[in-house]
Structure 1
């Protein structure tokens, strides 16, 4: 079914292209669907923060979880990212990132692997453990890159000094092999760290042609960022906020200034279904401030032959109500979005939370 925008939402034409956005509800009455991924057999897998991995099969939500696990779910902590193995058809592997409470009440995050057996998930093994966690700044995105490696975003867990500490996994983007081992070509010998100096990165995506890696990141009361991620790069937190104008740190290619976006998931669009969107980057946001704009779907267009320079940055939807957590391009060429209205910071409405598919139609204007 197609839904109308909620009170306080504004639908905008897509850069005067005579296109309008509508949302088709794929699943509803969910509890903080944090992330989603698409299996080659057509199933959509997604996580719910309290600890459930669920599936949508042939367009219908399976009422029973594919798998459940015990997690520490408070504040920003819980079950977060999900990534399906590029070799899923042969190994059935699915990876998730979650928070747990360890000995002496320490809060940690870890990556675990499940195996798909008879359409249900069976726990396999812990892939990477003892990533500092907390009720804030937990990162949580996991994705396989075009190189077949698993990339992971981690927050500073509320301890900003850890972001510059190469002996800690907090405040980093990590890169590991599918079995949890460290690739030999990582920038720091024997370490899963790929880049550092991050506050709370929550989105990862690669340009479909060049393989350039991008990440979205939460700043402190403004200065939210879109970054190009370089091997071994230092992104400055907590020594700088936003652009440093110096040579020691890598500056964002786009930032929110004094306003707050609270950016989360991000995805490049590669389909021919909407030709004018091809090669554009999209990201969704959780925040709402007068200076930073409402909770939104953002579109980023890069200068031709220069994927580090933003030519145009527009907002296709603004909402006072919906906190938008994940955006992914599906195999059908549509963008899929999850809401995060039941996470304790939102304004839940009937049907929340939801997974929606963006439908684009020609404007009557």
Structure 2
């Protein structure tokens, strides 16, 4: 069928529907109410829980109410939004019934029974006896590394630490674990991609200058923009509001080619006040020993990005060579030396003590990573961030030990012997490993893993990059920051400060054959994309089309035949020429007719229209 704009009559009718408060403009008779969310995700004690109930049919808007049983303590049902939100305070199994009512007169209603299993955090992560693990910050989009504020203030709203978010932000977290954006828009390209793969590019390392409070962060950028050529750089951020937000941003080092995941990594400030920068080999092994190429190196620079006069190689940033993908780094107080984690290709990862001017042997083959190694992991475990325990209140036998995060295979589901752990190392006076053991182990059944590791004044903190559920259907991740504290073998952990709550939508779609035609979308409003769902009770010829409020055709999403059942199409907010549309209200129309009537002829066209709001 030929694509066309909406007629004046159609626009008038749709306007009346919208004026009456409908978010969907269905064609009567209305579809029976259906709960599309039929099962609820498990919850975790003191971790933000945010789940939206998806309902089809009837006449929106809907009202939700609890008509049987009880929600877990700490969770509430929002009656208009159908959101279950909060942070449960006690583990257990909870049964309850929720009723949805639509806007018809009289209202149609439907009840749905649910169960939520609330698990203790210890059910996912195991730590030694006497330690307590707590989720202190939740709903972070790919949190990577943590840097604590030196000598933080005592007030609840004082800046406590910073965390890099892979896809272009730095977040400041207060002492009371409330969070706010410190800097955003740090990437000049869209970083989304596969894990493992191009999705691993972004903002990684972070450190804070004890003297000025300035934040240094490592990241990548495209040059020129949209060219696909990606480079490494270091940015310096200065704050004029006590470290809460960045007021200025300065590039102090740049123009080094990056490779997917083998990019710039940790940044640290040494005892000498210089900035040390870990850079991966960019998947070019021959770059690692080449003094004219900064890939596969540890670099040393002044805090303004200039070259120190006393570097081991004259007129060069290079401090050490021969590294493959050195993700983590930290300084040991006992010997004043830099230690790093280096990711191998297949069979070996290494822990190494870095000495100025040394070549650590990486060329191409796995045995190359034995050079300078004080510990080798075989098979590989993907060692990431690391930190020495110096002043945190842990038992005396832990002090001076090195704690290393092991992220494991990228985007692995469930527990694995090859990562999702924190390993502790006891070193001798010369920096050799005397003993090692697993301190933290993931035993859950989700995507969670360890990336950032940092000791704070009150415990060991680590970032969970993906959260339990990993990427949702809109490409979002709800990562976490956990704290591990020593509470004693007979002590009870004090009350926790609950993390900030934010909305996450989770749904389970029924596979039963629909009883009538229906059209809905979510999220609504939306930003990057929305899923448009339509139900067909019989094989039909359909046209799924987007219009603006003036009735002008924007995009035809589908035109053809579909079988009976529930279907969905993702619209990315672009017109038929592929150009991004501005924020506003748009109309999605589903026209449908049976492919053949009882007489064998094509049926008459019917339609339903959904109003969608795009907010950018």
TM-score normalised according to structure 2 size? 0.52
**CA shift at 1:12, angstroms?**
4.8
The answer on whether the counterparts of 2:289 and 2:362 sit within 8 Å (CA) in structure 1 is yes
**CA shift at 1:138, angstroms?**
1.3
Query: 1:18-57 maps to which residues of 2 (within 5 A)?
Result: 19-39=129-149, 40-42=151-153, 43=159, 44-57=161-174
- The partner residue of 1:316 within 439, 456, 464 is 439
Q: Does 1:78 pair with 2:215?
A: no
Tell me, in whole angstroms, the C-alpha distance in 2 between the residues paired with 1:217 and 1:209: 22
The answer on whether the counterparts of 2:312 and 2:319 sit within 8 Å (CA) in structure 1 is yes
If asked which structure has higher relative contact order (CA below 8 Å, sep 6+), I would say 1
Cα 1:283/1:223, change in 2 over 3 Å:
same
CA shift digits 1:299-324 (9 cap, x unpaired): 00123x332x2111111222254221
Q: Which residue of 1 aligns with 2:582?
A: none
Q: Which residue of 2 aligns with 1:16?
A: none
Q: Which residue of 1 aligns with 2:350?
A: 225
- The partner residue of 1:325 within 451, 457, 461 is 451
The answer on whether the counterparts of 1:145 and 1:206 sit within 8 Å (CA) in structure 2 is yes
Q: Which runs of 5+ in 2 are unaligned?
A: 1-44, 48-119, 154-158, 192-197, 491-616
Q: Which residue of 1 aligns with 2:387?
A: 267
The answer on whether the counterparts of 2:470 and 2:477 sit within 8 Å (CA) in structure 1 is no
Query: 1:31-180 maps to which residues of 2 (within 5 A)?
Result: 31-39=141-149, 40-42=151-153, 43=159, 44-63=161-180, 65-71=181-187, 72=189, 73=191, 74-88=198-212, 92-103=213-224, 104-118=227-241, 119-180=244-305
**CA shift at 1:292, angstroms?**
5.3
Q: Does 1:277 pair with 2:398?
A: yes
The answer on whether the counterparts of 2:404 and 2:422 sit within 8 Å (CA) in structure 1 is yes
CA shift digits 1:58-98 (9 cap, x unpaired): 323234x111133143422111111111212xxx4211111
Q: Which runs of 5+ in 1 are unaligned?
A: 14-18
Asked which structure has the greater CA Rg, the reply is 2
Q: Does 1:11 pair with 2:126?
A: yes
Tell me, in whole angstroms, the C-alpha distance in 1 between the residues paired with 2:326 and 2:369: 18
Equivalent residues, number: 344
Q: Which residue of 1 aligns with 2:319?
A: 194
Tell me, in whole angstroms, the C-alpha distance in 1 between the residues paired with 2:233 and 2:439: 35
The answer on whether the counterparts of 1:261 and 1:285 sit within 8 Å (CA) in structure 2 is yes
SS in 2 for 1:197: coil
SS in 2 for 1:234: coil
Tell me, in whole angstroms, the C-alpha distance in 2 between the residues paired with 1:174 and 1:93: 19
Q: Does 1:353 pair with 2:479?
A: yes
The answer on whether the counterparts of 2:222 and 2:229 sit within 8 Å (CA) in structure 1 is yes
Tell me, in whole angstroms, the C-alpha distance in 1 between the residues paired with 2:256 and 2:145: 19
Aligned-pair RMSD on alpha carbons? 2.6
Tell me, in whole angstroms, the C-alpha distance in 2 between the residues paired with 1:174 and 1:238: 18
**CA shift at 1:268, angstroms?**
0.3
Tell me, in whole angstroms, the C-alpha distance in 2 between the residues paired with 1:357 and 1:244: 32
